[in-house]
Structure 1
Amino acid sequence: MPKSSQYGLSEAQVDKFIDHGYVALEGAFSSSVARACRDIMWTAMGLSPDRPEEWRQPVIRLGFMTQQPFVEAANTSRLHAAYDALAGEGRWIPPQGLGTFPVRFPSHDDPGDTGWHVDMSFGTDNPDFMQWRSNVTSTGRALLMLFLFSDVGPDDAPTRIRVGSHHMIARRLLPRGPEGMTLQELAQDGFGGAETCDEVLATGRAGTVFLCHPFIVHTAQPHRGTQPRFMAQPPLLPKGEFDPSLPPSPVQIAIRKACGLKF
């Protein structure tokens, strides 16, 4: 396992990631970068923080952003060290931007996207997202990441995370080999019993990043606060396929531990 002094995460943080499926890094990027990114997103939506009467939709989705503040947010030295620590040194592609962005606004309306799910990592050319796939080696995805660009409290539509659910997904995927399973198949059996897991909310100050195991079960929720919530939910992309000749990363250790394999 990577040493904390080399990679910027404590051994306790790495152990938490393996067991719980996530680790939260406060101050992973600066508040000034977060503010610059929010300004760009306000412009992209054609809205203003000073005109709340125009915030009529519960959620507005923005695509991939490549402007410099987004690249800077995703590539701080602290985050690069954490990527190495969790996904394996040099086994990931530096993000060239961030996206997508579900910008959530205070609303009593149903946003229509609050179902529990796992972010699938391949087969995404299928127009039916329920047919997108994941497999036990997490082809196409090294991490799920939640970048907070605004302060997020319990009422501000924080993502709900099922603690330890990545273990259940790993066990479901193992028998299916490289072809894996679709999101529909995983959902049909309740994500391997993940409803029994404890929940945690992805809250924090702007600049916080939640680095999550690719198999973590999570969901959005309605916004019951007063200020819009700005968040990106990108993958960290791997450089290549799983290589059994390399020492297992904490992402892989978590999978092997869940499946009762040596690590």
Structure 2
Amino acid sequence: MEGRLSSQQIDQFITQGFVRIDNAFSAEIASQARDILWNDLGLDKKDPTTWTKPVVRLGMYPQEPFVASANTPVLHAAFDQLVGVGKWLPCRSMGTFPVRFPSEEDPGDAGWHVDASFPGADPADYWEWRVNIHSKGRGLLMLFLYSDVSEHDAPTRIRIGSHVDVARALQPEGEAGLAFMELAGKLGSMPEREIAFATGKAGTVYLCHPFLAHAAQPHHGTEPKFMAQPPLLLRDDLSVNGESPVERAIRRALM
């Protein structure tokens, strides 16, 4: 089937924690999405003097270009392969968008972390959202590039293989898992890992294991970076004993 991940890509996902898909959606769709985002930014895209902040966060976007970008045949096929047929929910909105601008100012959000998956005692407090060994609520972390991103354009940093270390930290915590900040606090004591940068042309998507540690960084390029980082939500729960690559990666880490 055209667009399916190769066995080598599946193995890379299991061992390194991510796979890159080029041309996952079209440059035209990316351009349409950027036009909507620029309109909401209220800034002049041709005048860098109006770009006064290192990062501006925009909300969720259910418009057609965003939904279309997340529901291409190549992505649906990859979701089936990595998470399991019938186990995931199609994305019906995209966001939030941390739009990053060239700046010497510290963006203030460049720490290593793992995205949380399910609410804690107070669902309104994101810092208390949690992650557990079964990745309750989340099938994948996804990085959607809506603009061209080079190494100078604040590409997301990916700690290769860190999903293994995170799985081992989560195992003794059982169903309750760890809160976002608790887990972030443990990342500094985990083994050093090689760093990859989520670069690529607009339309590139990185499909990442939900336990993968990643981080933002300052923007030293010339053009704003437009990227969304949505979860792939689950229809059915995952399990350490399951057979999808997401589940197999967790089980392998615990051996």
Q: Under TM normalisation by the shorter chain, which class is it?
A: over 0.9
Deviation digits for residues 224-253 of structure 1, max 9, x if unmatched?
0000000000000010223678x5100000
| Identical columns (%) | 52
**C-alpha distance 134-192 of structure 1, shift in aligned 2 (>3 A):** farther
- The residue type paired with residue 223 of structure 1 is H
Structure 2 CA distance for aligned equivalents of residues 242 and 155 of structure 1 = 37
- CA deviation map 1:128-151 (0-9, x unaligned): 433221000000100000000000
What residue number does 1:107 align with?
103
| TM-score normalised by the chain length of structure 2 | 0.95
2:66 maps to 70
Preserved CA contact (<8 Å) 1:123 1:133: yes
Answering whether residue 246 of structure 2 is matched by residue 251 of structure 1, we say yes
Aligned to 1:130: 127
> Residue 158 of structure 2 aligns to a residue in which SS?
strand
Counterpart position of 2:94: 98
Instruction: Give 2:42's aligned residue.
Output: 46
The whole-number CA distance in structure 2 between the counterparts of 1:97 and 1:40 is 14
Query: Is the Cα contact below 8 Å between 1:159 and 1:201 reproduced in 2?
Result: yes
The residue that corresponds to 2:85 in the other structure is 89
8 Å Cα contact 1:64-1:98 kept in structure 2:
yes
Distance 1:6 1:171, change over 3 A: farther
State the SS of the aligned residue for 1:161: strand
Instruction: Provide closer, same or farther for how the CA distance between residues 56 and 222 of structure 1 changes in structure 2, counting only shifts above 3 A.
Output: same
Q: 1:244 to 1:135 in 2, by over 3 A?
A: closer
Structure 1, unpaired ranges of 5+: none
- Is 1:148 aligned to 2:145, yes or no? yes
Q: Distance in 1 between matches of 2:193 and 2:86?
A: 32
Mapped pair 1:204 → 2:200: yes
Aligned twin of 1:229: 225
The equivalent of 1:17 in structure 2 is: 13
Mapped pair 1:164 → 2:161: yes
1:189-232 Cα offsets, whole Å, 9 max, x none, are: 335504x0110000000000000000000000000000000000
Q: For residues 86 and 124 of structure 2, what CA distance do their matches in structure 1 show?
A: 32
Q: 1:166 to 1:31 in 2, by over 3 A?
A: same
Secondary structure at 1:146's aligned position in 2? strand
Choose from 102, 106, 112 the match for 1:116: 112
CA contact (8 A) 1:186 1:192 kept: no
Counterpart contact for 2:240–2:248, Cα < 8 Å: no
TM norm structure 1: 0.92
The alignment's C-alpha RMSD in Å is 1.6
**Residues 158, 197 of structure 2: 8 Å contact kept:** yes
Over residues 73-112 of structure 1, what are the superposed CA-to-partner deviations in whole Å (9 max), with x where a residue is unaligned?
A: 0000000001111111111000002111110000111111
With over 3 angstroms needed to count, the CA separation of the structure-2 counterparts of 1:192 and 1:13, relative to structure 1, is: farther
For 1:123, give the aligned amino acid.
Answer: P
Output the CA distance in 1 between the equivalents of 2:226 and 2:2.
32
Name which of 175, 178, 181 aligns with 2:178: 181
Letter of the structure 1 residue corresponding to residue 63 of structure 2: Q
Give the secondary-structure state (helix, strand or coil) at the position aligned to 1:121. coil
Aligned to 1:61: 57
The secondary structure found in structure 1 opposite 2:167 is helix
Alignment length, in residue pairs?
254
